[in-house]
Structure 1
Amino acid sequence: MDRNGIVEHFICVRDGLTVFAAEYPAAGPQTGRDPLLPVICLPGLSRNSRDFHRFAQAISTDQAKPRRVIAIDYRGRGRSDWDPDPCRYQLSVEAGDVLEICSTLDIDAALFVGTSRGGLILHLLPGMAPDLSRGNILNDIGPVIEIDGLLAIARYLNNEGRYPSWRAAATALKMLHGPAFPALEAADWDEMALSLYRQADGVILPDFDPALVAPLLELSAATPLADLWPLFERLRDRPLMVIRGETSTLLSQETVDAMAGRHPALQSLTVAGQGHAPLLHLPGVIAPIKAFLSTLD
């Protein structure tokens, strides 16, 4: 356990790679006869467990219902091994890693939060482990992905730089993403830099395997994307919340409306002043999430 009370797990998965998961134990005694369902956090394409640090703290120390929280680094990100075969950087493999982590940590039922790519993994899990997810939160992702937003992600990930200081990294993030995130303050950009980058040999650099970006560079505006609506149908029988950034270019309001039409109990939240993908621990976001989670035990 580190000085912040986080339990660090390094788990060897089926093909020999080691993947990392950060566990935030529930603070205080659990109420009721059975423990509350844990929350498992799945990050975006190039992001990692640190993206959920403030969120996990808020959920694990909630005064009313503190929950165990697990935040995962997929292979090739954060503190997990880079895969020597980049072809294995795909959703089905990463979903399999999530299942192995859950098995190792004795989790047979949980609530899930999936940001961007993490939400796509949540579309796969019901077909792989039907009883595992008891409720899902999709953070700025849905069964229709806007190609313009995906191409924008490819461009900025391909042009990720190296910075001489953490301040320079935070400044670069604000220059790139600031127009889509007017709600963020200076401290938020500093925290984002700490979650997205690592320091090596005195340089601040992206904390992911650059091979992750290669498939995105093959996309164009004419590239047909997969039809994910059949997978979304598998989410209809369990509680679902979708969060959309007000300025998101990846998830449209039209898609959210269509999701609500197919999942009548869907809860949706549009986050003002944020784009792709909203920070979940900020005021106006964390409270509705807590309220949603509180109904799922």
Structure 2
Amino acid sequence: MGDTDSQAFKDRTFISSDGLTLHLRDYDPPAEATEDRLPVICLPGLTRNSRDFHALALVLSRDPVAPRRVIALDYRGRGLSDWDENKANYNLAVEARDVIEACAYLNIGRAAFIGTSRGGLILQLLAGINPDLMAAVVLNDIGPVIEAGGLMKIRDDLNAARLPSDMEEAAALLKLRHSAEFPALSVSDWAEMATAIFRDVDGQLVPDVDPAIATQLLSIDFTKPVPDLWAQYESFARLPLMVVRGENSALLSENTLTAMADRHSNLRIVRVPDQGHPPLLHSEPALQGIRTFLTAT
């Protein structure tokens, strides 16, 4: 999550088909690791960025038994990627295209994917658009049905947040806002989360995202059902699939999780106690679940 141990990855950029410079982190395994394993591509949540995956990427790329390359993306408008002047391009279809183009830039023809929240929605589209790219999928606290109450909470949190004066205050504000859902998190967890979310702009800490992305949520009409992605989810049928759910998640319900298992005969499920949306993937039992799941890819 944080930026410690920056020598563990390379910052790379590529130009999207519509001319934006997009950024990603590339975590290579140690030079002495000789076995060729499929890379892991990590896709963050709606307003988040590649820094969310730092701790997980360190573990996976330095695994003493099965190290592998890990790629973590900044979508357009997030992290070190360009903001898009056409705000309508902040949508799942365009972001899915960016993921495909990132893979082409890296000469990756097949990979395991981990998608947190928004990232998992993108993966459901990718499964229908380019299934041959996907060897296995981990969905972090997301499925084909998004609970309206959870989405409203995200909308309100993103559009009403007070800006902190420093990272210490940022961590304190995050804890104040989310500790009821995340009682398991430590002081260092909150501090790492703050480092992943905020950046300094002219002496003021701000979320590291184009504000237009959060503003988009204000236009959602919650008097109508949130569209589901069951048709897209069916494309996972042939793939190894794992879902991580935070015990206190308001976005992915147990009912949806049950329905997902009914439609995928080999779905693996990991429930993370004392965490909400989305659980930290470098914490247990999520981390061990991911490592075990990836050994088959």
- TM category (shorter chain) comes to over 0.9
Aligned counterparts of 1:123 and 1:200: Cα–Cα separation in 2: 34
Secondary structure of the 2:245 match is: strand
1:258 corresponding residue in structure 2: 259
Aligned counterparts of 1:55 and 1:227: Cα–Cα separation in 2: 29
1:10 corresponding residue in structure 2: 13
Superposed, 1:34-183 pairs within 5 Å as 35-183=36-184
Secondary structure of the 1:10 match is: strand
Whether 1:20 aligns to 2:56 is: no
Letter of the 2:16 counterpart: V
2:277 corresponding residue in structure 1: 276
Q: Deviations over 1:18-67 (max 9, x none)?
A: 110000001253454xx100000000000000000000001000111101
Conservation of the 8 A alpha-carbon contact between 1:147 and 1:250: yes
Q: Give the superposition deviation at 1:213.
A: 1.7
* TM-score w.r.t. length of structure 1: 0.96
1:188 corresponding residue in structure 2: 189
Letter of the 1:229 counterpart: W
* TM-score w.r.t. length of structure 2: 0.96
Q: Give the superposition deviation at 1:220.
A: 4.1
Aligned counterparts of 1:197 and 1:265: Cα–Cα separation in 2: 38
Aligned counterparts of 1:26 and 1:238: Cα–Cα separation in 2: 25
Aligned counterparts of 1:257 and 1:190: Cα–Cα separation in 2: 34
Runs of 5+ unmatched residues, structure 1: none
Secondary structure of the 1:167 match is: helix
Whether 1:29 aligns to 2:42 is: no
2:204 corresponding residue in structure 1: 203
2:214 corresponding residue in structure 1: 213
Aligned counterparts of 1:223 and 1:19: Cα–Cα separation in 2: 34
Secondary structure of the 1:157 match is: helix
Aligned counterparts of 1:266 and 1:288: Cα–Cα separation in 2: 12
Secondary structure of the 2:139 match is: strand
2:287 corresponding residue in structure 1: 286
Conservation of the 8 A alpha-carbon contact between 2:52 and 2:193: yes
Q: Give the superposition deviation at 1:5.
A: 2.6
Letter of the 2:196 counterpart: S
Secondary structure of the 2:179 match is: helix
Aligned counterparts of 2:16 and 2:34: Cα–Cα separation in 1: 34
Conservation of the 8 A alpha-carbon contact between 1:245 and 1:275: yes
Conservation of the 8 A alpha-carbon contact between 2:270 and 2:285: no
